[in-house]
Amino acid sequence: MELRDYQKDIVKRGVDVIVDHKLLYLQMEVRTGKTLTALSICEELGVRSVLFITKKKAISSIQDDYNNFGFTFDITIINNESLHKVTGDFDIIISDEHHRNGSFPKPNKSTKLIKQRWANLPMIFLSGTPNAESYSQVYHQYWVSNRTPFKQWPSFYKWAKDFVNITTRNFGYADVKDYSSADYSKIKPYIDKHIITYTQKQAGFESNVNEHILHCDMSETTYNIIHQLKRDKIMQGRTGVIIADTAVKLQNKIHQLCGGSVILEDGTTAIIDHSKAEYIRDKFKGKKIGIFYKFKGELKILKHIFGDSLCTTLEEFNGTDKNIALQIVSGREGISLREADALVYYNIDFSSISYFQSKDRMTTMNRQVNNVYWVFAKRGIEAKIYKSVINKKDYTVNMFKRDFELSK
Protein backbone atom coordinates (compact mmCIF):
# COMPACT_ATOMS: atom_id res chain seq x y z
CA MET A 1 0.00 0.00 0.00
CA GLU A 2 1.46 3.34 -1.07
CA LEU A 3 0.41 6.96 -1.21
CA ARG A 4 -0.45 8.45 -4.57
CA ASP A 5 1.91 11.14 -5.87
CA TYR A 6 -0.49 13.97 -5.07
CA GLN A 7 -0.86 12.67 -1.51
CA LYS A 8 2.92 12.68 -1.07
CA ASP A 9 2.99 16.30 -2.20
CA ILE A 10 0.19 17.24 0.21
CA VAL A 11 2.04 15.46 3.04
CA LYS A 12 5.12 17.64 2.45
CA ARG A 13 3.06 20.82 2.31
CA GLY A 14 1.01 19.75 5.33
CA VAL A 15 4.10 19.15 7.45
CA ASP A 16 5.25 22.70 6.66
CA VAL A 17 1.88 24.16 7.68
CA ILE A 18 1.90 22.29 10.99
CA VAL A 19 5.50 23.30 11.73
CA ASP A 20 4.80 26.95 10.92
CA HIS A 21 1.25 27.40 12.22
CA LYS A 22 0.35 24.30 14.31
CA LEU A 23 -3.02 24.21 12.57
CA LEU A 24 -3.83 22.57 9.21
CA TYR A 25 -7.16 22.19 7.42
CA LEU A 26 -7.11 19.48 4.73
CA GLN A 27 -10.11 20.32 2.57
CA MET A 28 -9.92 17.26 0.33
CA GLU A 29 -12.99 16.01 -1.48
CA VAL A 30 -14.59 12.64 -0.81
CA ARG A 31 -12.51 9.57 -1.78
CA THR A 32 -9.27 11.53 -2.43
CA GLY A 33 -7.59 9.90 0.58
CA LYS A 34 -7.55 12.56 3.27
CA THR A 35 -7.38 10.00 6.11
CA LEU A 36 -4.14 8.37 4.92
CA THR A 37 -2.74 11.79 4.04
CA ALA A 38 -3.37 13.09 7.55
CA LEU A 39 -1.89 9.97 9.18
CA SER A 40 1.18 10.22 6.94
CA ILE A 41 1.70 13.84 7.98
CA CYS A 42 1.76 12.65 11.58
CA GLU A 43 4.32 9.99 10.66
CA GLU A 44 6.56 12.57 8.96
CA LEU A 45 6.30 14.84 11.99
CA GLY A 46 7.61 12.01 14.17
CA VAL A 47 4.78 12.20 16.70
CA ARG A 48 4.36 9.44 19.26
CA SER A 49 0.62 9.58 19.95
CA VAL A 50 -2.37 10.69 17.86
CA LEU A 51 -6.00 11.27 18.84
CA PHE A 52 -8.26 10.74 15.81
CA ILE A 53 -11.83 12.03 16.26
CA THR A 54 -14.38 10.73 13.76
CA LYS A 55 -17.85 9.24 13.34
CA LYS A 56 -18.59 5.87 14.92
CA LYS A 57 -19.24 4.18 11.57
CA ALA A 58 -15.81 5.29 10.26
CA ILE A 59 -13.72 3.94 13.16
CA SER A 60 -13.14 0.47 11.69
CA SER A 61 -11.98 1.75 8.27
CA ILE A 62 -9.58 4.23 9.87
CA GLN A 63 -8.20 1.48 12.11
CA ASP A 64 -7.68 -0.66 8.98
CA ASP A 65 -5.77 2.17 7.25
CA TYR A 66 -3.59 2.59 10.33
CA ASN A 67 -2.89 -1.15 10.63
CA ASN A 68 -2.24 -1.75 6.93
CA PHE A 69 0.15 1.15 6.48
CA GLY A 70 2.50 0.29 9.33
CA PHE A 71 2.60 3.65 11.07
CA THR A 72 4.96 3.84 14.05
CA PHE A 73 2.94 6.15 16.30
CA ASP A 74 0.22 5.08 18.73
CA ILE A 75 -3.33 6.04 17.84
CA THR A 76 -6.62 6.44 19.71
CA ILE A 77 -9.66 6.55 17.41
CA ILE A 78 -12.84 7.84 19.03
CA ASN A 79 -16.23 9.16 17.96
CA ASN A 80 -17.41 12.61 19.05
CA GLU A 81 -20.05 11.25 21.40
CA SER A 82 -17.40 9.34 23.40
CA LEU A 83 -14.81 12.13 23.70
CA HIS A 84 -15.46 12.43 27.43
CA LYS A 85 -14.06 8.90 27.87
CA VAL A 86 -10.65 9.71 26.38
CA THR A 87 -7.63 9.40 28.67
CA GLY A 88 -3.91 9.81 28.07
CA ASP A 89 -1.64 12.37 26.48
CA PHE A 90 -1.37 13.15 22.77
CA ASP A 91 1.02 15.00 20.49
CA ILE A 92 -1.52 15.98 17.84
CA ILE A 93 -5.28 15.93 17.19
CA ILE A 94 -6.97 14.90 13.93
CA SER A 95 -10.60 15.98 13.68
CA ASP A 96 -12.42 14.18 10.86
CA GLU A 97 -15.51 15.68 9.17
CA HIS A 98 -14.58 18.82 11.05
CA HIS A 99 -17.45 20.86 9.60
CA ARG A 100 -19.55 19.23 12.35
CA ASN A 101 -17.80 21.66 14.72
CA GLY A 102 -19.11 24.65 12.77
CA SER A 103 -22.33 25.22 14.71
CA PHE A 104 -23.25 28.86 15.20
CA PRO A 105 -23.95 31.16 16.93
CA LYS A 106 -23.02 28.77 19.78
CA PRO A 107 -20.61 25.81 19.65
CA ASN A 108 -21.90 22.29 20.16
CA LYS A 109 -20.95 20.05 23.06
CA SER A 110 -18.08 18.15 21.40
CA THR A 111 -16.61 21.38 19.99
CA LYS A 112 -16.44 22.86 23.48
CA LEU A 113 -14.84 19.67 24.83
CA ILE A 114 -12.14 19.63 22.14
CA LYS A 115 -11.25 23.23 22.97
CA GLN A 116 -11.33 22.63 26.71
CA ARG A 117 -9.00 19.62 26.64
CA TRP A 118 -6.71 19.95 23.62
CA ALA A 119 -6.68 23.58 22.42
CA ASN A 120 -2.91 23.86 22.95
CA LEU A 121 -2.05 20.87 20.74
CA PRO A 122 -1.31 20.97 16.99
CA MET A 123 -4.43 20.04 15.01
CA ILE A 124 -5.31 18.66 11.59
CA PHE A 125 -8.88 19.25 10.44
CA LEU A 126 -10.41 17.10 7.68
CA SER A 127 -13.47 17.86 5.55
CA GLY A 128 -14.56 17.78 1.94
CA THR A 129 -17.41 20.20 2.72
CA PRO A 130 -16.04 22.67 5.30
CA ASN A 131 -18.85 25.21 4.98
CA ALA A 132 -21.54 23.63 2.83
CA GLU A 133 -24.42 25.53 4.42
CA SER A 134 -22.90 28.86 5.48
CA TYR A 135 -19.52 30.57 5.78
CA SER A 136 -20.56 31.40 9.33
CA GLN A 137 -19.62 27.79 10.06
CA VAL A 138 -15.97 28.82 9.80
CA TYR A 139 -15.61 30.52 13.18
CA HIS A 140 -16.04 27.66 15.68
CA GLN A 141 -14.13 25.22 13.49
CA TYR A 142 -10.99 27.28 14.18
CA TRP A 143 -12.09 28.38 17.66
CA VAL A 144 -11.26 24.90 19.04
CA SER A 145 -7.55 25.71 18.67
CA ASN A 146 -5.53 28.33 20.51
CA ARG A 147 -3.86 28.96 17.13
CA THR A 148 -7.12 30.19 15.62
CA PRO A 149 -6.57 33.03 13.15
CA PHE A 150 -9.56 34.75 14.78
CA LYS A 151 -7.98 35.05 18.21
CA GLN A 152 -8.80 38.76 18.49
CA TRP A 153 -12.50 37.85 18.33
CA PRO A 154 -13.07 35.72 21.46
CA SER A 155 -16.73 34.97 20.72
CA PHE A 156 -18.82 34.30 17.62
CA TYR A 157 -20.98 37.35 18.34
CA LYS A 158 -17.97 39.70 18.34
CA TRP A 159 -16.62 38.02 15.20
CA ALA A 160 -20.01 38.33 13.51
CA LYS A 161 -19.99 42.11 13.89
CA ASP A 162 -17.01 42.26 11.51
CA PHE A 163 -17.60 39.26 9.24
CA VAL A 164 -21.38 38.66 9.02
CA ASN A 165 -24.24 40.55 7.44
CA ILE A 166 -26.58 40.21 10.42
CA THR A 167 -30.27 40.38 9.56
CA THR A 168 -33.54 39.76 11.40
CA ARG A 169 -36.03 37.06 10.46
CA ASN A 170 -39.58 36.69 11.67
CA PHE A 171 -40.61 33.16 12.65
CA GLY A 172 -44.17 34.05 13.57
CA TYR A 173 -43.61 33.79 17.31
CA ALA A 174 -40.60 36.15 17.47
CA ASP A 175 -37.99 38.16 15.55
CA VAL A 176 -34.67 36.28 15.53
CA LYS A 177 -31.25 37.47 14.42
CA ASP A 178 -29.92 35.59 11.39
CA TYR A 179 -26.14 35.09 11.45
CA SER A 180 -25.87 32.87 8.38
CA SER A 181 -24.59 35.44 5.83
CA ALA A 182 -20.85 35.64 6.53
CA ASP A 183 -18.66 37.41 3.96
CA TYR A 184 -16.07 34.91 2.73
CA SER A 185 -14.01 37.60 1.02
CA LYS A 186 -13.27 38.99 4.49
CA ILE A 187 -12.68 35.56 6.05
CA LYS A 188 -10.37 34.12 3.38
CA PRO A 189 -7.23 36.19 4.12
CA TYR A 190 -7.24 34.95 7.73
CA ILE A 191 -7.55 31.22 7.00
CA ASP A 192 -5.68 30.75 3.70
CA LYS A 193 -2.35 29.92 5.36
CA HIS A 194 -3.95 26.95 7.18
CA ILE A 195 -5.74 25.35 4.22
CA ILE A 196 -4.74 22.78 1.61
CA THR A 197 -7.50 21.91 -0.86
CA TYR A 198 -7.71 19.04 -3.31
CA THR A 199 -10.55 17.98 -5.59
CA GLN A 200 -11.61 14.74 -7.24
CA LYS A 201 -10.92 16.35 -10.61
CA GLN A 202 -7.33 17.15 -9.60
CA ALA A 203 -6.93 13.56 -8.43
CA GLY A 204 -7.98 12.25 -11.83
CA PHE A 205 -11.45 11.00 -10.94
CA GLU A 206 -13.53 10.55 -14.08
CA SER A 207 -16.67 9.32 -12.36
CA ASN A 208 -19.99 10.96 -13.15
CA VAL A 209 -22.89 10.91 -10.70
CA ASN A 210 -26.08 10.25 -12.66
CA GLU A 211 -29.14 11.11 -10.60
CA HIS A 212 -32.47 9.50 -11.46
CA ILE A 213 -35.84 10.56 -10.04
CA LEU A 214 -38.38 7.75 -9.57
CA HIS A 215 -41.95 8.19 -8.38
CA CYS A 216 -43.87 5.64 -6.36
CA ASP A 217 -47.59 5.43 -5.63
CA MET A 218 -48.27 5.17 -1.91
CA SER A 219 -51.42 3.51 -0.56
CA GLU A 220 -54.69 5.41 -0.35
CA THR A 221 -54.44 5.09 3.42
CA THR A 222 -51.27 7.18 3.41
CA TYR A 223 -52.79 9.91 1.24
CA ASN A 224 -55.96 9.97 3.35
CA ILE A 225 -53.95 10.44 6.57
CA ILE A 226 -51.97 13.31 5.01
CA HIS A 227 -55.16 14.95 3.80
CA GLN A 228 -56.80 14.68 7.23
CA LEU A 229 -53.74 16.05 9.03
CA LYS A 230 -53.60 19.06 6.69
CA ARG A 231 -57.32 19.67 7.30
CA ASP A 232 -57.81 18.81 10.98
CA LYS A 233 -54.24 18.86 12.45
CA ILE A 234 -55.06 15.68 14.36
CA MET A 235 -56.01 12.08 13.65
CA GLN A 236 -57.03 9.23 15.90
CA GLY A 237 -55.82 5.94 14.51
CA ARG A 238 -56.19 2.34 15.64
CA THR A 239 -52.83 2.38 17.42
CA GLY A 240 -52.60 5.97 18.61
CA VAL A 241 -52.96 9.68 17.97
CA ILE A 242 -51.12 11.76 15.37
CA ILE A 243 -50.97 15.48 16.17
CA ALA A 244 -49.81 18.06 13.63
CA ASP A 245 -51.04 21.32 15.17
CA THR A 246 -48.07 23.43 14.02
CA ALA A 247 -46.38 23.82 10.64
CA VAL A 248 -43.22 22.15 11.96
CA LYS A 249 -45.15 19.11 13.20
CA LEU A 250 -47.15 18.86 9.99
CA GLN A 251 -43.97 19.06 7.91
CA ASN A 252 -42.39 16.22 9.90
CA LYS A 253 -45.51 14.03 9.85
CA ILE A 254 -45.91 14.35 6.07
CA HIS A 255 -42.18 13.62 5.67
CA GLN A 256 -42.53 10.47 7.77
CA LEU A 257 -45.72 9.30 6.04
CA CYS A 258 -44.09 9.60 2.61
CA GLY A 259 -41.76 6.84 3.80
CA GLY A 260 -44.59 4.67 5.10
CA SER A 261 -44.31 5.22 8.85
CA VAL A 262 -45.28 7.87 11.39
CA ILE A 263 -44.27 8.69 14.96
CA LEU A 264 -47.37 8.78 17.19
CA GLU A 265 -47.96 11.22 20.01
CA ASP A 266 -46.82 8.66 22.61
CA GLY A 267 -43.44 8.30 20.85
CA THR A 268 -44.06 4.90 19.28
CA THR A 269 -43.83 4.33 15.53
CA ALA A 270 -46.73 3.08 13.46
CA ILE A 271 -46.01 1.28 10.19
CA ILE A 272 -48.56 2.48 7.64
CA ASP A 273 -47.38 1.57 4.14
CA HIS A 274 -44.93 -0.88 2.53
CA SER A 275 -45.38 0.53 -0.98
CA LYS A 276 -42.04 2.30 -1.32
CA ALA A 277 -39.96 -0.61 0.01
CA GLU A 278 -41.79 -3.02 -2.30
CA TYR A 279 -41.17 -0.69 -5.24
CA ILE A 280 -37.42 -0.57 -4.49
CA ARG A 281 -37.22 -4.35 -4.03
CA ASP A 282 -38.90 -5.00 -7.38
CA LYS A 283 -37.14 -2.20 -9.29
CA PHE A 284 -33.63 -3.22 -8.24
CA LYS A 285 -34.04 -7.00 -8.17
CA GLY A 286 -30.74 -8.71 -8.94
CA LYS A 287 -28.63 -5.66 -8.05
CA LYS A 288 -26.51 -5.03 -4.96
CA ILE A 289 -27.68 -1.67 -3.66
CA GLY A 290 -27.04 0.76 -0.86
CA ILE A 291 -30.23 2.27 0.58
CA PHE A 292 -30.36 5.52 2.53
CA TYR A 293 -33.36 5.94 4.83
CA LYS A 294 -34.33 8.84 7.10
CA PHE A 295 -36.55 7.54 9.95
CA LYS A 296 -36.22 4.44 12.13
CA GLY A 297 -39.63 3.19 11.02
CA GLU A 298 -38.36 3.05 7.46
CA LEU A 299 -35.63 0.60 8.47
CA LYS A 300 -38.30 -1.65 10.01
CA ILE A 301 -40.20 -1.59 6.72
CA LEU A 302 -37.07 -2.33 4.68
CA LYS A 303 -36.13 -5.26 6.92
CA HIS A 304 -39.64 -6.67 6.61
CA ILE A 305 -39.70 -6.43 2.81
CA PHE A 306 -36.08 -7.40 2.04
CA GLY A 307 -35.70 -10.02 4.78
CA ASP A 308 -32.32 -11.75 4.91
CA SER A 309 -31.11 -9.98 1.77
CA LEU A 310 -30.61 -6.77 3.76
CA CYS A 311 -27.85 -5.89 6.23
CA THR A 312 -26.88 -2.77 8.17
CA THR A 313 -23.09 -3.12 8.56
CA LEU A 314 -20.32 -2.44 6.05
CA GLU A 315 -18.47 -5.61 7.04
CA GLU A 316 -21.43 -7.79 6.04
CA PHE A 317 -22.20 -5.71 2.95
CA ASN A 318 -18.64 -5.92 1.63
CA GLY A 319 -18.36 -9.64 2.29
CA THR A 320 -21.70 -10.84 0.90
CA ASP A 321 -24.22 -10.22 -1.88
CA LYS A 322 -26.59 -8.51 0.54
CA ASN A 323 -27.96 -5.00 0.18
CA ILE A 324 -27.28 -2.44 2.92
CA ALA A 325 -29.56 0.09 4.63
CA LEU A 326 -27.97 3.12 6.29
CA GLN A 327 -29.45 6.16 8.00
CA ILE A 328 -28.66 9.23 5.87
CA VAL A 329 -27.00 11.42 8.52
CA SER A 330 -24.84 8.67 10.03
CA GLY A 331 -24.00 7.15 6.64
CA ARG A 332 -23.18 10.29 4.70
CA GLU A 333 -19.61 10.61 6.02
CA GLY A 334 -16.54 8.46 6.45
CA ILE A 335 -17.77 5.30 4.70
CA SER A 336 -17.41 3.78 1.23
CA LEU A 337 -20.16 1.99 -0.69
CA ARG A 338 -17.88 1.16 -3.63
CA GLU A 339 -19.27 -2.42 -3.71
CA ALA A 340 -22.77 -1.17 -4.56
CA ASP A 341 -24.21 -1.32 -8.07
CA ALA A 342 -26.43 1.65 -7.27
CA LEU A 343 -27.34 4.01 -4.46
CA VAL A 344 -31.05 4.32 -3.66
CA TYR A 345 -32.64 6.98 -1.48
CA TYR A 346 -35.70 5.67 0.31
CA ASN A 347 -36.20 9.16 1.74
CA ILE A 348 -34.39 12.48 1.75
CA ASP A 349 -32.96 14.68 4.50
CA PHE A 350 -33.70 18.41 4.90
CA SER A 351 -29.95 19.14 5.01
CA SER A 352 -27.96 20.12 1.91
CA ILE A 353 -24.84 18.63 3.54
CA SER A 354 -26.55 15.23 3.60
CA TYR A 355 -27.30 15.56 -0.10
CA PHE A 356 -23.82 16.49 -1.27
CA GLN A 357 -21.90 14.08 0.94
CA SER A 358 -24.06 10.97 0.80
CA LYS A 359 -24.42 10.78 -2.99
CA ASP A 360 -20.63 10.41 -3.38
CA ARG A 361 -20.35 7.29 -1.24
CA MET A 362 -19.80 5.00 -4.27
CA THR A 363 -17.15 7.17 -5.92
CA THR A 364 -13.69 5.71 -6.58
CA MET A 365 -10.91 6.88 -8.89
CA ASN A 366 -11.55 4.03 -11.34
CA ARG A 367 -15.34 4.07 -11.37
CA GLN A 368 -16.77 5.69 -14.49
CA VAL A 369 -20.42 6.07 -13.50
CA ASN A 370 -22.31 6.31 -10.21
CA ASN A 371 -26.05 5.74 -10.53
CA VAL A 372 -28.06 7.39 -7.78
CA TYR A 373 -31.82 6.90 -7.56
CA TRP A 374 -34.26 9.05 -5.58
CA VAL A 375 -37.56 7.33 -4.87
CA PHE A 376 -40.23 9.93 -4.17
CA ALA A 377 -43.83 9.38 -3.17
CA LYS A 378 -46.18 10.78 -5.80
CA ARG A 379 -47.80 13.96 -4.43
CA GLY A 380 -45.32 13.81 -1.54
CA ILE A 381 -42.87 16.20 0.08
CA GLU A 382 -39.59 14.67 -1.13
CA ALA A 383 -39.42 16.34 -4.57
CA LYS A 384 -39.81 19.75 -2.92
CA ILE A 385 -37.00 18.99 -0.45
CA TYR A 386 -34.81 17.79 -3.32
CA LYS A 387 -35.32 21.01 -5.26
CA SER A 388 -34.04 22.95 -2.26
CA VAL A 389 -31.02 20.88 -1.23
CA ILE A 390 -29.56 20.56 -4.75
CA ASN A 391 -29.30 24.36 -4.63
CA LYS A 392 -27.36 24.15 -1.34
CA LYS A 393 -30.30 25.30 0.75
CA ASP A 394 -31.74 23.40 3.69
CA TYR A 395 -35.48 22.78 3.41
CA THR A 396 -37.10 25.03 6.01
CA VAL A 397 -40.55 25.23 7.54
CA ASN A 398 -41.18 28.49 5.67
CA MET A 399 -40.50 26.69 2.38
CA PHE A 400 -42.89 23.96 3.48
CA LYS A 401 -45.63 26.47 4.28
CA ARG A 402 -45.18 28.04 0.85
CA ASP A 403 -45.10 24.72 -1.01
CA PHE A 404 -48.20 23.37 0.74
CA GLU A 405 -50.01 26.72 0.76
CA LEU A 406 -50.37 26.92 4.52
CA SER A 407 -51.40 30.21 6.09
CA LYS A 408 -50.04 29.32 9.54
pLDDT for 407: 59
- pLDDT tens for 266-279 read 999 999 999 999 99
29-34: average pLDDT: 86
Between CA 267 and CA 121 the distance in angstroms is 43
- pLDDT tens for 372-404 read 999 999 999 999 999 988 887 888 888 898 888
Single-letter residue type at 316: E
pLDDT for 204: 77
- pLDDT tens for 358-379 read 766 655 545 567 889 999 999 9
Higher-confidence residue of 174 and 189: namely 189
pLDDT for 138: 97
Kindly state the helix (H) or strand (E) to which residue 49 belongs, with its residue range: strand 49-54
Between the CA of residue 18 and those of 22, 66, 115, 125, 255, what are the distances in Å? Answer: 4, 20, 18, 11, 45
113-127: average pLDDT: 97
Q: How confident is the model at residue 171 (pLDDT cuts 50, 70, 90)?
A: low
33-50: average pLDDT: 96
Is the backbone of residue 204 left (phi > 0), alpha (psi -120 to 50) or beta? left
Q: Where are the alpha helices (DSSP H) in 206-364?
A: 220-232, 247-257, 275-283, 296-306, 314-319, 328-331, 352-358
Domains of the chain: 5-203 (3.40.50.10810), 208-401 (3.40.50.300)
Q: How confident is the model at residue 101 (pLDDT cuts 50, 70, 90)?
A: very high
Q: Which of 193-197, 215-219, 331-335 has the lowest mean pLDDT?
A: 331-335
Between CA 282 and CA 135 the distance in angstroms is 43
Higher-confidence residue of 281 and 205: namely 281
246-260: average pLDDT: 95
Is the bond leading into 105 cis (omega within 30 degrees of zero)?
yes
117-129: average pLDDT: 95
- pLDDT tens for 204-226 read 776 677 899 999 999 999 999 99
279-283: average pLDDT: 97
158-164: average pLDDT: 97
pLDDT for 350: 83
Those residues with Cβ within 8 angstroms of residue 235's Cβ, 6 or more apart along the chain or in another chain: 225, 228, 229, 241, 242
Q: How confident is the model at residue 60 (pLDDT cuts 50, 70, 90)?
A: confident
Length of the chain: 408
